[in-house]
Amino acid sequence: MHEGGSTESQEASALADFDTGEVLDALSSGIIVLDEQLCAVYTNPRAESLLMMRLDEVRGRPLPGLLREGEALVVALREALDGKGAVCDCNLALASQREAPDRRVRVRTSLLPSQTARSYLLLQLECDVADERGS
């Protein structure tokens, strides 16, 4: 006997166990989520490794404090938040508080779909393989 909606209930059951945080934490790219003031509200473990700072050290800090040469990126991010820009893609140096050689990272940004009254930006950080071996 065929039960109507069983596929829908199976999909709903599978999604009930889906944890977005676990997915973001498992990515090989660094992920930073920024609020409307361009302050970090979330970093995954890879971003923490690239920044050489834990989430509790990064949370609430403005983006320019995390990336060197970030002024142009900040302008692009503000335009994205204002609806005047789109996705940004650039190479920047990380600004670590710890003694470490400058590492360049590719930064891709996206405006997250607004589910609430607030807007958030997602930054994807990818370190060059050569930079990884050199550090």
Q: Which of 110, 105, 130, 108 is CA-nearest to residue 120?
A: 110
Domains in the chain with CATH codes = 28-134 (3.30.450.20)
Rounded to 5°, angle at Cα 124 from 94 and 45 = 75
Q: How far apart are CA 132 and CA 14, in angstroms?
A: 36
**Tokens for 131?**
């930079």
Is the pTM here over 0.85, yes or no?
Answer: no
CA distance 105 to 70: 12
DSSP notation for 80-133: HHTTS---EEEEEEB--SSS----EEEEEEEEPP-SSSS--EEEEEEE-HHHHH
> How do the pLDDT tens digits run along the chain, 135 residues long?
445 556 666 665 656 666 777 888 888 889 998 888 989 999 999 999 888 888 898 888 888 777 776 677 788 788 877 776 666 777 777 765 555 556 677 777 777 776 667 788 888 888 764 444 444
